[in-house]
Amino acid sequence: MYIHKEGYKITFFTILILIISLALICTYIDNFNWFWYILMAGLFVFAFLIIRFFRIPKREIIHSPNQIIASADGTIVVVERVYESEFLNCECIQISTFMSPNNVHVNRYPVNGKIVYVNYHSGKYLIAKNPKSSTLNERTSVCLETENGKRIMIRQIAGALARRIVCYAKEGQQVMQGEELGFIKFGSRVDVFVPLDCDIHCELEDKVKGGLSVIATL
């Protein structure tokens, strides 16, 4: 397990603030009571949670050209037939994963392919479980085209806590299944739109892990 590069700066400042706060308390407080002990414990817990948020566990990523893997860790909150009007302009199956602050927040490419579309949208910060968040919230949409011409869209969506979407995708880039697509900071959601003829292997409330869980088969 290691700290993701998106967390280097905030992890550094979190540890720095922790050290300075503890040093000031120990230097200027002579009579310790329960309040100060609780405060110091709270500082440790806060720093631990911030650092833990940016953790990246070591994983043996699945590599299978016919399988679609989860792009994110979290809970499946949507599995339904929809009309995707931003780029695909066709009916497809939407599979949405809600990421709580407790989940690993790196996002991964679900298949091998060429990036044919990338678009960032500014927007609201509705709770990520809200169905409207897919089209109203701040989001980044990325579409991959596989070797056999299948198109799969991934949409990173900011939630009520998330205030920054990081996306590494660039149009024309050839990417591998399981590689990092990006990172969403502090709670969010990822939608994956797959062709109608896919076999779906997940249901509502299923727990999935990015790069490990197979959610569909082409």
| DSSP states along 116-178 | EEEEEE--B---TTSTTHHHHBSEEEEEEE-TTS-EEEEEEEE-SS--EEEE---TT-EE-TT
Starting at the edge strand found earlier in the chain, the sheet holding 74-84 runs 174-175, 113-121, 139-145, 151-158, 188-194, 90-99, 74-84, 207-208
Q: What is the pLDDT of residue 160?
A: 62
pLDDT tens track, the chain, 218 positions:
788 888 899 899 999 999 999 999 888 888 888 898 899 999 999 999 888 888 888 888 888 889 999 999 999 999 999 999 999 999 999 999 998 888 888 999 999 999 999 999 887 766 666 666 666 778 899 999 999 999 999 999 886 665 678 899 999 999 999 999 999 877 688 999 999 999 999 999 999 999 999 999 99
Q: Cα–Cα distance between 55 and 10 in angstroms, integer?
A: 13
Q: What is the pLDDT of residue 39?
A: 92
Is the separation of the CB atoms in 68 and 217 below 8 Å? yes
Q: What is the pLDDT of residue 82?
A: 96
Could you confirm whether 188 is annotated as catalytic?
yes
Q: What is the pLDDT of residue 165?
A: 86
CA separation (Å) from 158 to 12, 35, 63, 100, 215? 24, 36, 28, 12, 22
